[in-house]
Chains A and B, each alone.
Chain A
Amino acid sequence: MSSLQFDIAHLLAGSLVLASFMMLYQDRLYALLNVYALHAGVLALSVAWQAYVQHAPHLYVTALIALVFKAIIIPVALHRIIRRLGIHREIENVIGVGLTMMAGIGLVALSMVVMLRVTPGADALAREDLAFSLSVVLLGLLIMVTRRNAVSQVVGFMSLENGLVLAATGAKGMPLVVEISVAFSVLIAFIVIGIFLFRIRERFDSVDVQALDRFRGERR
């Protein structure tokens, strides 16, 4: 593998982490969705580059799935949901942006340390990919934890899943079946969560998960 190829792969994976960071501080839902679409687009690019580098044509299919489903269908569908729920003006912030960003940086550092330490024997590209994808997964979790709106939690979950796909494509010889089934399961999860969103909203007139807590008689 030439140095340029490696650098481009590195760049794309790094961009994915950057996109995750961008998602961290979006406090408007539409903006969050747009960044998520960007996130998925970068993922598609990254996967396509991996397909080219690894001479693995089936990865192009994965890239296509990522582009179609994650960068187009899901954001569009979420847009519609938000519009129908009428929550596009909602602003949410649980913890301050600065603190969240600091935590995110800490997580990236942690995943680098972990991955560089546990995979000394692996291929350099796979190592980098794994480190970046672990960062994306952790950042996705962080998004889920710091939001209280159900839609943005869904988005956090989706970005977490993008991290998994990145890890999967970085490892050579991942069968297509696995990728398709992962994509499919995400779609199912999306549908289920979407239905839930409407159920929650129907019941509580809000998709703020605090409503659920209030319903259970909790105080925070």
Chain B
Amino acid sequence: MIAVALWSVAVLLALAPAGVVLSTRPRGSLILYGGCLIATSTLCVTALTDLLYFPHLAPSVTLPIGLPWLGAHFRLDALSAFFLVVVNLGGVAASLFALGYGQHEDSPGRVLPFYPAYLAAMNVVVLANDAFSFLVAWEFMSLTSWAMVVSHHREAENVRAGYVYLLMASFGTLALLLAFGLLASGAGYDFDAIRASHPSAALTGMVVILVLLGAGSKAGLVPLHAWLPLAHPAAPSHVSGLMSGVMTKVAVYGFVRIVFDLLPEPVWWWSMVVLLVGGPTATLGVLYALMQRDIKRVLAYSTIENIGIIFTGLGLALAFKAEGLDWVAALAFTAAMLHVFNHALFKSLLFFGAGAVLGATGERDMEKLGGLIHRMPKTAFAVLVGCVAISALPPFNGFVSEWLTFQAILLSPQLPNWGLKLIIPAVGGLLALAAAFAAACFVKLYGISFLGRPRSDVAASAHETDRFSLAAMFALAVLCLVAGILPGLFIDALAPVSKAMVGNVMPYQTGLDWLTIVPIAESRSSYNGLLVFLFAALSGMAAASAIHRLASDRLRRAPAWDCGYPDPSPTIQYSASSFSQPIRRVFGSVIFAAREIGEMPPPLSPSPARLTVDMRDLIWDALYAPIAKVIGVATERINMLQFFTIRRYLTLVFAALIVLLLVVAL
């Protein structure tokens, strides 16, 4: 099993240098993405087989590479297998999408060599069983994705995004490095040795904080999210899909691996920290998303929201486990893992949709799109499925995982700890708010981009995307539906992961009548996606046929957003900003310090009236800007050192030597 996985990773690594050669060939991108497709499919099938049939084997391999006295350890346990499935499912979909989308790339040499290396790095992070391999692969993953973020380096915005990304990625790796350093102090770098060691409470506390900083900055937890909405949209769309859908999950994996697996039993305050970060992340992420006009940036901010939901689930699992309620911890953990899987599906799907729109129109700005449902009907349908799923509407998959998270939140009164008892319902409130905002956000995204009338010529002349891209999007859409109506299968597949990480499992779901899922007990709550789906489908069809039968059967086409007035310009339509204005007025004035400046010309003046909205990112202003300023001042001071004369340097060396000798002498 693990041999197959490692050989596939080796194939991916070998494809990276091949990408350099292939990028100059006319059909090179087809060959390369085809190779990636095969390798990731192999990995995906391998991992799935492992997860479903041999979850308790956990085979491990030590290769004689890396540090000479350590080697490179790899292990394929249930958690790794699950995340391998997520990574490679995303990889398969992205490679399939790129078979079509990648052909539009103007400079393939800047993407092709890095793409397989990036996939390989994510796989190695998940497979690694020692800190050294883990960190090397982690950094490799950051660097290769950075290279693709700056692949369109002619745009100044992308270069800035790459810069911020590189800084934050280095910060995250540093935090993880320190965390592993603390862990390794008593045991060494091998994960097996770390697992067997007994670190002190103060040390594990520091490790948890460091891991939250390190993995959290990669995943995009507020306030470490600043790079994410810059970097994810800057990459080519299939890479954006991978970064948002998959790489953030690798970060979640890092957190789970260290906090749930390597560290000893959790303490209640860990969960407090995670919850207090996760809940606000969810709400703030989606509020930011609502304020954006750029499709890919909306998606990137929505990733932050979903990461918030996942981390809330993990925080709940920690809380319940620390207080001895294993069975609820299993529920919360399974919910978080299910959301990891679901988010990877629909976020990839939506980024691919954004890529298809970008390829067809060259626009990412919603205010210049509109009416695409007529020009790109198939893409529009797939994106609609993604939007419904991410808005957590039944019968799609997003609903199941968020519902399970809420089930765990509703059990919080059973906790003996008063602090947690008070915090968790508040976090639940934040999550509920986030879910509502997410629905609004995606109504806006879909409504403004795909419905109505085209707002620009490029939108009016758009055309349907190619068949590979459509195949990728539809495959993901079908998976979203399947995971939504048959969640029991997925929950049961996660049982070994939950058993290994929190020591308990959710009740088995397969075999219940009508594929219902019952997270706790029949008397409390149950959900049946299949029945909801059938009911929605049947009632919809019945309503449609009733209307057609009883009322007019004639097909009539009228201009969209006409409202009876033949309006001259499509700009009269509802716009993205006007859609989010009510929410901006309610929340934005505090959170974004948003101000609306109305400019009304005096009577008889021909100049136009204007309404400008001024929004600031308060987290950036309060946290990043001061740090950047301090570092700027400090480096300017230190920079003087670079312009000394030779003699001055010699004098410095001399003086340093004398000072050290004096220290020894006195």
Nearest A residue (CB) for B664: A114
B647, A145: Cβ atoms closer than 8 Å = yes
Which chain B residues border A142 with CB–CB below 8 Å? 654
Query: What are the residues of chain B within 8 A of A89 when measuring CB–CB?
Result: none
Q: Which residues of chain B are within 8 angstroms of A113 by Cβ–Cβ distance?
A: 665
A218 to B645 Cα, complex, angstroms: 8
Asked if B662 and A220 make an inter-chain contact with CB atoms under 8 angstroms apart, the answer reads no
Which positions 165-186 of chain B face chain A at CB distance < 8 Å?
Answer: none
Q: Which of A117, A118, A138, A209 contacts B647 (CB 8 A)?
A: A209
Chain A residue numbers with a CB within 8 Å of B647 are 145, 148, 209
Query: Cβ of B646 < 8 Å from any Cβ of A?
Result: yes
Among the listed B643, B645, B650, B661, which residue makes an inter-chain contact with A110, where contact means beta carbons less than 8 Å apart?
A: B661
Interface size on B, residues (CB 8 A): 14
How far, in Å, is B444 (CB) from chain A's closest CB? 56
> How far apart are the CA atoms of A151 and B193 in the complex, in Å?
59
B657 close to A (CB within 8 Å): yes
- Indicate whether A117 sits within 8 Å of B664 (C-beta atoms), given known contacts A141-B657, A144-B650, A145-B651: yes
A213 at the interface (CB under 8 A from B): yes
Bound Cα distance A210, B658 (Å): 25
- Note all chain A residues with C-beta closer than 8 A to B650: 141, 144-145
Number of A interface residues at 8 Å Cβ cutoff, please give it.
Answer: 20
Q: Mark B635-666, 1 if CB is under 8 A from A, else 0.
A: 00000000101110011011001100110110
Instruction: Give the secondary structure class of A's interface.
Output: helix
What is the interface of chain B mostly: helix, strand, loop, or mixed?
helix
In the complex, residue of chain A having the shortest beta-carbon distance to the beta carbon of B660: A114
Name A134's closest neighbour in chain B (CB-CB): B661
In the complex, whether A55 has a CB less than 8 A from a CB of chain B is no
Question: Quick check: is A216 within 8 A (CB to CB) of the other chain?
Answer: yes
Q: Return the chain B residue nearest A218 by Cβ.
A: B645
- What residues on A are CB-neighbors of B664 within 8 Å? 114, 117-118
A220:B661 contact, CB within 8 angstroms: no
A176 within 8 Å of B by Cβ?
A: no
* A111 located at the interface, meaning its Cβ lies under 8 Å from any Cβ of chain B in the complex: yes
- Asked if B645 and A145 sit within 8 Å, CB to CB, the answer is no
* CA–CA, A110 and B661, complex, Å: 8
Question: Which residues on B sit within 8 Å (CB–CB) of A118?
Answer: 664
Q: Which of A193-215 contact B (CB under 8 A)?
A: 209-210, 212-213
- In whole angstroms, how far apart are the Cα atoms of A216 and B645 in the complex? 9
A110 — which chain B residues lie within 8 A by C-beta?
658, 661-662, 665
Asked, given contacts A110-B658, A141-B657, A145-B654, whether A212 binds B665 with beta carbons under 8 Å apart, the answer is: no
When each residue 62-76 of chain A gets 1 if its CB lies under 8 Å from chain B and 0 otherwise, what string results? 000000000000000
Q: Which of A167-190 contact B (CB under 8 A)?
A: none
CB of B645 within 8 A of CB of A213, answer yes
Contact A212 to B646, CB < 8 A, known contacts A117-B665, A145-B651: yes
Contact A114 B657 (CB under 8 A): no
Task: Using A145-B650, A145-B654 as known contacts, say yes or no to A111 and B643 having CB atoms under 8 A apart.
Answer: no
Q: Which B residues touch A209, using CB under 8 A? A: 645-647
Check if A114 sits within 8 Å of B661, measured CB to CB. Answer: yes
Question: Looking across the interface, which residue of chain B has its beta carbon closest to that of A94?
Answer: B647
- A117-163 residues at the B interface, CB under 8 angstroms: 117-118, 138, 141-142, 144-145, 148
User: In whole angstroms, how far apart are the Cα atoms of A144 and B655 in the complex?
Assistant: 13
A37 to chain B, nearest CB (A): 24
List, sorted by A's number, 8 A–B pairs whose CB atoms are closer than 8 Å: A114-B665, A138-B657, A141-B650, A141-B653, A144-B650, A145-B647, A209-B647, A212-B645
Give me the interface of B with A, judged by CB distance under 8 Å. Answer: 643, 645-647, 650-651, 653-654, 657-658, 661-662, 664-665
The 4 closest A-B pairs by CB, nearest first: A113-B665, A213-B645, A114-B665, A141-B654
Instruction: List 6 additional A-B contacts (Cβ < 8 Å) besides A107-B658, A145-B647, A209-B647.
Output: A145-B654, A209-B645, A210-B645, A212-B645, A218-B643, A218-B645
